[in-house]
């Protein structure tokens, strides 16, 4: 079995110790699986590469990730057919019809200045028909169901992979691969605020012009979001991960 490595070539020794081959960087397309070391390398391997091979996440500080010290055993179990490929959703995010990026872990609206809060709205679609086929537009307003409006530092939408990270620390649920996405207010003003799990599409809005609000996708600040412009979150493909 042939493995490619992204992020830290030093793990190649553990892969070879398990009896597998490691391909060179110019042969990555021929690999049977990709070992991605660290969250940024995992994002690169999933979102920005043409490879059609499942990915083994290593040292991503998440429960679903393989610690580096266990990589040799993980590769041995993969070669023995004891691991399974699990499809995890990737999110596409647009602002008022303009594509803003894709998220493997989460997308968040958050006030750009410290010690400021804003008001956020969340709505979910009655069906996939609430979104135009090219995902650039919201269609009939009747297709959208308002969920809540709340004062907070922000709101995060986390994929199942991201639901074990920041969203969990903010009080959200851990979500299974097929269960939807976690929607969690960030430092809400109210002492008790709901969190939710929905299947996309979702629509987020900034409901007040109190403070600048930024869109953050997988820890990258992408752009500011003006008040009342819809932020649309849809599913855009899947990531194939080799997990226990």
Task: Give me the helices (H) in the chain, please.
Answer: 12-17, 39-47, 71-79, 166-169
Q: Whole-number mean pLDDT of the chain?
A: 91
2-6, 42-46, 140-144, 160-164: least confidently modelled range: 140-144
Q: Where are the domains of the chain?
A: 2-82, 90-238
Determine what percent of the chain is predicted with pLDDT higher than 90: 77
Q: With left for phi above 0 and alpha for psi between -120 and 50, is residue 61 left, alpha or beta?
A: left
The CATH code of the domain at 90-238 is 2.60.200.30
Q: Looking at the predicted structure, is the pLDDT value of residue 81 above 80?
A: yes
- Contacts for 216 with CB less than 8 Å, ≥ 6 apart: 107, 108, 109, 110, 222
What pLDDT is attached to residue 143?
Answer: 84
Cut 0.85: pTM above it: yes
Using omega within 30 degrees of 0 as the cis cutoff, is the peptide bond preceding 114 cis?
Answer: no
Contact 241, 215 (CB under 8 A): no
Positive or negative, the Cα torsion across 61, 40, 11, 57? positive
Q: Looking at the predicted structure, is the pLDDT value of residue 148 above 80?
A: yes
Rounded Cα gap, residues 36 and 46, in angstroms:
9
pLDDT band at 139 (very low <50, low <70, confident <90, very high): low
For the chain, helix, strand, coil in percent to 5 are: 20, 45, 35
Contact 168, 160 (CB under 8 A): no
- Tell me the three state secondary structure of residue 168: helix
| DSSP conformation letters of 78-136 | HHTT-SEEEEEEEEEEEETTEEEEEESSEEEEEESSTT--EEEEEEEESSGGGB-TTSS
Max CA separation in the chain (angstroms) = 59
What are the Cα distances from residue 92, in Å, to 75, 104, 135?
31, 9, 9
Residue 223 CA neighbour count, 13 Å, CB half: 12
Mean pLDDT score, 106-119: 90
């Amino acid at each position: 079995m042939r493995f490619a490595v992204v992020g830290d070539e030093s793990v190649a020794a553990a892969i070879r110790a398990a009896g597998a081959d490691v391909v060179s960087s110019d042969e990555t397309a021929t690999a049977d699986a990709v070992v991605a070391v660290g969250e940024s390398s995992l994002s690169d391997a999933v979102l920005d590469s043409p490879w059609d091979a499942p990915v083994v996440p290593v040292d991503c500080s998440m429960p679903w990730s393989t610690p580096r010290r266990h990589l040799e055993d993980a590769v041995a179990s993969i070669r023995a057919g004891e691991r399974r490929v699990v499809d995890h959703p990737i999110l596409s995010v647009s602002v008022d019809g303009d594509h803003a990026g894709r998220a493997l872990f989460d997308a968040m609206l958050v006030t750009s200045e410290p010690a400021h809060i804003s008001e956020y709205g969340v709505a979910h679609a009655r069906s996939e028909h609430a979104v135009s086929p090219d995902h650039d537009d919201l269609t009939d307003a009747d297709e959208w169901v308002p969920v809540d409006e709340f004062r907070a530092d922000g709101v995060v939408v986390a994929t199942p992979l991201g639901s074990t990270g920041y969203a969990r620390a903010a009080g959200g649920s851990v979500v299974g691969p097929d269960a939807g996405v976690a929607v969690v207010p960030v430092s809400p003003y109210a002492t008790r605020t709901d969190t939710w799990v929905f299947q996309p599409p979702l629509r987020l809005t900034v409901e007040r012009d109190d403070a600048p609000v930024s869109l953050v996708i997988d820890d990258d600040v992408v752009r500011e979001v003006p008040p009342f412009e819809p932020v649309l979150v849809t599913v855009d493909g899947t990531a194939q991960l080799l997990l226990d």
